[in-house]
């Protein structure tokens, strides 16, 4: 990875409220790399300013990312006629994120997905992160607790990686943050490539053993955000098992074969084709809200899912090094007012959250999520867009 120190090697131009960051080294090399722009993205209630960074390629593919929550705010993708649409749900200013967002576009941590009501035990000690989700009789810790990584300000550093515009976001989660042990230093890098990919690299280190499960919570709608439901999107997932859940979406610890169930996406199926089926797991999830067990060597980057929207022709491939993927069909969306006055109704977007399995700290039989001092957590996910 090439990360030229921006202020020294690059040209920074003040242009109204907009900043332009150009990779001098890539210009010198004759590489057609578009500048990274930075503009204000509103203020949090305590006055802290947020920023919006734009990473784009020559084809018009563009990701706008804010330092609040390490959040993907907009994602512009061409359709089969070359027309761009923003395929990610979100808001026009940071003000709406802390209160109205259902994790739209956010970086999720320290532990993405659920940990059961009793917390977890690690090296003989019990830890009880805040219970921030679920009905009164079955609370759980969702997405890292009350103030997860989606609700904090990250330090942002625009860089060019092999000529591609990228944004490095850093956050230090203190020892005891949300009940988790150890100081966790986290780095998330978003990179826009010339092939219409949004690449996300995660790295983390700790000074005490702690569970780590980082993911991204972008809600995709390949017709464009606010343009109806995703029930007509055609999905393929390379996996023959899910981790089934109890009525409160905590894994039972078993594996369920997808064969003959609405969970079999090994051949392409419309999201809506079987979402109303009389299947216990569908009922528990209120639709799809489950972890698929990916069939690939642990840690190997592989294509694991494809989402296609036939009318626009847009498709998205998902590649990851992670062993699991939560497919969440936007079942809890309920009319949030988002960008351009659009309303995000039930199933107005879906998430493909690459991750380790939910509740792994309580499931020694699942791939481990425990990071120990001296180790580096490293994970990569690519969302690659195209048309057909
Ligand atoms: C995840 C969960 C869902 C829901 C959303 C946020 O995808 O699995 O159950 O909590 O986040 O609304």
Q: Which of 103, 283, 353 has the most ligand 1 atoms within 8 A of CB, as the residue to mutate?
A: 103
Span from the CA of 365 to the centroid of ligand 1 (angstroms): 23
Distances (CA, A) of 31 to 60, 165, 196, 212, 231: 16, 12, 16, 37, 41
Interval 308-324: pLDDT, tens: 999 999 999 999 999 99
Atom 6 in ligand 1: which residue has the minimum CA distance?
102
Q: Which of 115, 217, 328, 335 has the most ligand 1 atoms within 8 A of CB, as the residue to mutate?
A: 328
CB 157 within 8 A of CB 143: no
Distances (CA, A) of 171 to 52, 132, 189, 198: 17, 22, 12, 20
pLDDT of residue 7: 39
CB 385 within 8 A of CB 316: yes
Atom 9 in ligand 1: which residue has the minimum CA distance?
289
First-to-final CA distance of the chain: 32
Pocket of ligand 1 (CB under 6 A): 102-103, 113, 142, 249, 289, 326, 328, 332, 351, 353
User: pLDDT category, 24, cuts 50, 70, 90?
Assistant: low
Interval 185-229: pLDDT, tens: 999 999 999 999 999 999 999 999 999 999 999 999 999 999 999
Q: Is 142 exposed, middle or buried (0-12, 13-18, 19+ CB in 10 A)?
A: buried
172 pLDDT above the threshold of 80? yes
Q: CA-CA distance, 147 to 151, in Å (whole number)?
A: 6
Ligand 1, atom nearest to 285 Cα: 9
Question: What is the arithmetic mean of pLDDT over 14-42?
Answer: 70
User: pLDDT category, 23, cuts 50, 70, 90?
Assistant: low
User: pLDDT category, 21, cuts 50, 70, 90?
Assistant: confident
Question: What is the arithmetic mean of pLDDT over 280-299?
Answer: 96
Q: CA-CA distance, 181 to 111, in Å (whole number)?
A: 12
Span from the CA of 329 to the centroid of ligand 1 (angstroms): 9
Find, among 52, 70, 261, the residue nearest to 153 by Cα.
70
Q: What is the pTM of this model?
A: 0.94
């Amino acid at each position: 990875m090439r990360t030229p120190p921006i202020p020294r090697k690059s040209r920074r131009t003040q242009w109204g409220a907009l900043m332009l960051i150009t990779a001098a080294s890539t210009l010198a090399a004759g590489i057609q790399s578009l500048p990274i722009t930075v503009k204000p993205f509103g203020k949090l209630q305590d006055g802290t300013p947020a920023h919006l960074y734009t990473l784009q390629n020559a084809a018009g593919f563009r990701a706008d990312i804010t330092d609040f929550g390490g959040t993907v705010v907009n994602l512009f993708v061409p359709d089969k006629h070359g027309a761009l649409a923003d395929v990610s749900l979100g808001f026009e200013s940071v003000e709406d994120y802390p209160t109205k967002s259902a994790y739209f576009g956010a970086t999720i941590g320290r532990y993405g997905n659920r940990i059961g009501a009793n917390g977890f035990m690690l090296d003989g000690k019990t830890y009880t992160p805040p219970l921030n989700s679920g009905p009164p009789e079955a609370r759980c810790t969702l997405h890292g607790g009350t103030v997860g990584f989606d609700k904090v300000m990250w330090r942002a550093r625009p860089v060019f990686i092999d000529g591609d515009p990228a944004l490095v976001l850093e956050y230090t989660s203190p020892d005891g943050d949300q009940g988790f042990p150890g100081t966790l230093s986290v780095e998330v890098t978003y990179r826009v490539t010339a092939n219409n990919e949004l690449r996300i690299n995660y790295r983390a280190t700790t000074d005490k053993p702690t569970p780590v499960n980082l993911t991204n919570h972008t809600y995709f709608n390949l017709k464009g955000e606010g343009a109806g439901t995703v029930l007509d999107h055609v999905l393929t997932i390379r996996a023959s098992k899910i981790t089934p859940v109890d009525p409160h979406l905590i894994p039972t610890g078993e594996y369920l074969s997808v064969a003959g169930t609405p969970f079999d996406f090994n051949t392409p199926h419309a999201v809506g084709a079987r979402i109303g089926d009389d299947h216990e797991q569908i009922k528990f999830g209120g639709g799809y809200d489950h972890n698929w067990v990916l069939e690939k060597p642990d840690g190997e980057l592989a294509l694991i899912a494809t989402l296609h929207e036939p009318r626009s022709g847009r498709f998205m491939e998902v590649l990851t090094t992670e062993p699991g993927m939560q497919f969440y069909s936007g079942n809890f969306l309920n009319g949030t007012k988002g960008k351009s006055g659009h309303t995000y109704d039930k199933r107005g977007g879906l998430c493909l959250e690459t991750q380790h399995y939910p509740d792994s700290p309580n499931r020694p039989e699942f791939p481990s999520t425990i990071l120990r001092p001296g180790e580096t957590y490293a994970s990569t996910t690519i969302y690659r867009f195209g048309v057909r």
